[in-house]
Structure 1
């Protein structure tokens, strides 16, 4: 079956890159002094100067960068470059464009703020499409991010109207958009070995492997850069390992606010120094950013499929980009080590390309049927009803709604769907991920599988079990097997994170395994028994016993009611939920009672022998 959204085939122009050369050198070998128009420029290597080349080219340039940190990095302190993002307004762009002393205008913009540049040009009656060369940097992001960041594709309609335009990246993805049909693909081919050694750790216990890597294996590292695309996951690591004082977190502005509410101080939305021992970065820092350090870092990439499927790292794009962030060579290398720790899941729901083909074909047929009905309808009410149905179609997530309410295919959203499923397939098994890393041509893989007593799959099973009784039995089996394990405390900490984990682990440790069967695995009964145990533990704790000793003199008649009230006050101060009776004092003292006259009294003879130690 012919695919509806076939990836385009391009004329590939090879360009040889020699060791130590920059992009401009390799472009000259194929007849260009600048980045040419109508090309997808596949740099192969990061840091060879594509953005630098365009910023210094003798022409006006609009460079679309996928994330703000990159723009800040490239434009900071450079008055001749205009950074356009959220805080930059249309009048700011107009003022910059009117500055006569800047011969070649250089604008760096996020996709979401591109409209400001367009509007400024319109208001100044400038021919933007003829005046500027438009470079879309790190171009794979327009495909990778289009599912959760729909506005990233907004400049594309304008992009194709520029007389001079190019896509560029060290890791471009194939495209299906027919507007690229007249483009050529320039492939930079280094004539030297550029493979990096990568440690791939496939684990059945993500948290245990991360703990061992960060606290043991990298304990003596000067600095560790951890790339993980979930701030909740970063928060969990920092808290579980107790490394907040040694950590710095780089994430989005929204996540910065969230983490600061939790008490974090060393957190930022833009990369800045000084760095910490452990530096955590989310996906907005995976590409384009230049990190120049005085020491060689250890690079760590983390993926936890059981808690955040979106933490998957694509070996072909994101892994290459991450390792390319570090630009300063020290003794022939920019890093000490690269490690990717991940779990795998053969139960991931993954679609083949063929299945996606069929799904999209059916969605398109449904839309075309409605579109035909819309075009033939003459009644306004009918047209509005059909448009309402169109807006709810499954195809709508892969299309842009036009002004008339009809849909226009968004080829980047289509490519994103295929791309996401491609990456998922790598995480079905350790071998599949290993092979994908090797096939990139960028890595020599040192592969290792590690297994621990409490696995991520067990934790997933615990989450899925519907009843307390079932969770109890599975957790008790694991707790029994942990007896004597040197890492038992860490594992029990992991189990406590699961539903009812705190109760089950505490009851197991304090009351023993027998209590569960005795109480017929009934949550309320087990909690009742544990609460009773904890109350008794508090009632006879050293602090409470000391206060009771100081409250009551020996061998002196004391009204029973006074003793009862004083004991209740002591319990209240220590949060002991226990109703004191008149004879409760006998739990603590040998006593003699007097009922000869009211008020009846106790004479406390001595603290009970078993409590006096």
Structure 2
């Protein structure tokens, strides 16, 4: 069954069909305005707050905005009013307030029509925004609901939503709506950007780039700080990052534009940017310094161009192409996920057969597994997160060569009038690099902020909580060190991360925070692709067993429980025997000293689980 989307003579939508996956083909055709004016109760879900803030200005009083600062009581009061049709607009993160208000008043949430705008974000944001898939349970319970976006879903994603009883509603884009774009492949993004900006210094530029660090680096190296604004989410982490770099020209709402305007992904879709001039638009991707800056032609480029109500002077996608952009195959990803999920279920079933007192350490063990991020509270796999992972790898592969980038855009030929170019620069030219800092001074500043705001004491006000969350996002390991270890000790070891990690693990165990110290300590002490003598392995493992209060004598071969190893071999000039440690059976992620399990052999998984319970 297929539904149809109706437009008036001006090209705006006149009615939104229910229970559909709607590909509206082009932005700015009035979908949200249509629904706000429709004769029914409805809830519109917007992926990002700026869209709601923009509609508040243009459609003041016609809907109830659910966002930060809005209280549940205010929603309840609105539900009790006798005005005509009730209209809500909310982000996924604020949806819980709606649910609470509906439950409190006895109003049936699922009797409302629910429209998920820019619904391609369900897949695109699934792995780093818990709320965006959490609300789908309520969404699919609504008798009438629809997904709508100007970016078409992949065939695999469409099949995923069809399983929930939705039908497709596709619009073929008319040629008059195609957008002009120049796609430039380069080996040096900043030098190419400098060349573009220097060609016309009188223009105003909107530069879409999903990395605050890279935006800061561009502003500094191009020496355009006084003429630049950075637009990003208004959370405390972003504010602190920008302030610490001496940058105060940043905004979380659209407006007050400068000559150079840098916008993160929060502003890629749905909102309207209304200007009395046509700006130059640059979409910036550099996989080598910001892996999250890869751009999908249909999900991102098409949406970005559509932000400008009055059109643009030109659009350029400037992209680094590099052999480093190697995607993992879909087949291998799915195979790994299923192997790990089967192992997870096996260990979980084993846990549930144990006495209650033994279940806690095994539950902690299960939460170490990488598969845990794909598992929903009901124990089932989160299909949307899996699709996100598959789609992301596909986008990464676009940036391997100029040819792969060109081919990706040619597949979207129905949407773009394409021009391709390649620009290359020598090694002496200006280059972007991964952002570096004076680490010791940065860490000192971090610790001073921790103690200045008395975060070592119970948090009693909103400011403390905001600063705490910002520091946690910035450097979780150093924050935990400040919480568990003395200031004197942290300074004495000069913020050495391996030492801090080891002491944190010991302190966690001593305080009863964790019951799994062995694996944490082993992976903090030993590392992949290094040679270790048998005597060193025994010595360090004995120290670890002592810390963990294990009454056993270590053997050098114990290391094979944590790493794949070479055969016993000579490891140094003195002729001592030992092992080359290959792949770890666990992984320590980023700053977090808690490991995640990556072994897929279920026999080893169960054996390690038994050992943890015994410890």
What TM-score, normalized to structure 1? 0.66
**Aligned counterpart in structure 2 of residue 241 of structure 1, from 186, 208, 222:** 222
Q: In 2 relative to 1, CA 80–19 (structure 1 residues): closer, same or farther, beyond 3 Å? A: closer
**2:100 is equivalent to residue 124 of structure 1:** no
- Aligned counterparts of 1:456 and 1:344: Cα–Cα separation in 2: 17
Q: Which residue of 2 aligns with 1:327?
A: 309
Q: Does 1:186 align with 2:166?
A: no
Contact 2:289 2:432 in 1 (8 A): no
1:380 CA drift (Å): 2.2
2:442 corresponds to 1:452: no
Distance 1:19 1:350, change over 3 A: farther
Gap change, CA 1:180 and 1:462, over 3 Å in 2: closer
Aligned to 2:481: none
1:433 aligns with 2:392: no
Cα distance, 1:143 vs. partner?
A: 1.3
Q: Is the 8 A contact 2:66 2:94 kept in 1?
A: yes
Deviation, 1:36, is: 2.3
Please list every run of 5 or more consecutive structure 1 residues that lacks an aligned counterpart in the other structure: 1-10, 25-33, 329-333, 464-613
Pairing 1:290–2:290 present: no
SS at match of 1:199: strand
| Aligned pairs (5 A) from 1:178-217 | 180-214=163-197, 216-217=198-199
Q: C-alpha deviations, 1:531-584, integer Å up to 9, x for none?
A: xxxxxxxxxxxxxxxxxxxxxxxxxxxxxxxxxxxxxxxxxxxxxxxxxxxxxx
**Radius of gyration: which is bigger?**
1
Residue equivalent to 2:250: 267
| SS at structure 2 position matched to 1:135 | strand
What is the distance in 1 between the residues matched to 2:118 and 2:383? 17
Q: CA deviation at 1:218?
A: 3.1
Change (3 A) 1:363 1:178: farther
Matched, 1:390 2:391: no
1:277 aligns with 2:264: no
Q: What's the secondary structure of 2:339's corresponding residue?
A: helix
Deviation of 1:148 (Å): 2.1
Taking a change above 3 Å as real, the CA distance of residues 79 and 460 of structure 1, as seen in their structure-2 partners, is closer
Gaps of 5+ in 2: 437-615
- Confirm or deny: 8 A CA contact 1:260 1:267 kept in the other structure: no
Residues 455 and 427 of structure 1: CA distance in aligned 2, closer, same or farther (over 3 Å): farther
Cα distance in 1, alignment partners of residues 44 and 151 from structure 2: 17
Q: TM-score, normalised by structure 2?
A: 0.66
Counterpart-to-counterpart distance in 1, 2:147 and 2:411:
23
- Structure 1 residues 240, 309: CA separation in 2 closer, same or farther (over 3 Å shift)? same
Going from structure 1 to structure 2, the CA distance change for 1:415 and 1:12 (only over 3 Å counts) comes to farther
Of the structure 1 ranges 337-346 and 177-186, higher mean CA displacement relative to structure 2 is found in 177-186
Q: Note if 1:232 corresponds to 2:213.
A: yes
Distance in 2 (alpha carbons) for counterparts of 1:462 and 1:277: 24
In structure 2, distance between residues paired with 1:460 and 1:242: 16
Decide whether the 8 Å contact of 1:14 with 1:186 is kept in 2: yes
Give the distance between the partners of 1:341 and 1:173, measured in 2 at CA.
24
What does the per-residue CA deviation read over 1:273-298, in whole Å, with 9 as the maximum and x for residues that have no partner? x3222111111000001011111111
Q: How does 1:511-526 map to 2 (within 5 A)?
A: none
Asked if 1:105 is matched to 2:86, the reply is yes
CA positional deviation for 1:241? 1.6
Give the corresponding residue for 1:145.
125
The question of 1:73 aligning with 2:54 is answered: yes
Return the alpha-carbon distance in structure 2 between the equivalents of residues 103 and 205 of structure 1.
57
Task: Provide, for residues 199-246 of structure 1, a one-character-per-residue CA deviation record: whole Å limited to 9, x for no partner.
Answer: 1111111111111112x123232x211101111111111222222222
Alignment-derived partner of residue 503 in structure 1: none
SS at match of 1:409: coil
Per-residue deviation, 1:344: 1.1
Equivalent residue, structure 2, for 1:501: none
Question: Which residue pairs with 1:48 in the alignment?
Answer: 29
In 1, the alpha carbon distance for the partners of 2:104 and 2:17 equals 29
Shift of the 12–395 alpha-carbon distance from structure 1 to 2, 3 Å rule, reads farther
278 and 294 in structure 1: CA distance in 2 versus 1, 3 angstrom threshold: same
For 1:347, the equivalent position in structure 2 comes to 324
For the residue of structure 1 that corresponds to 2:269, the secondary structure is coil
Distance 2:334 2:134 in 1: 25
Q: Which position in structure 2 is the counterpart of 1:517?
A: none
Give the equivalent residue in structure 1 for 2:67.
85
Q: Distance in 1 between matches of 2:430 and 2:100?
A: 53
Instruction: State the Cα distance separating 1:378 from its structure 2 match.
Output: 5.6
Compared with structure 1, are the counterparts of its residues 264 and 89 closer, same or farther at alpha carbon in structure 2 (3 Å cutoff)?
same
CA offsets 1:436-456 (integer angstroms, 9 cap, x no match):
112122112211111111289
Distance 1:446 1:64 in 2: 36
Give distance in 2, aligned partners of 1:460 and 1:73.
36
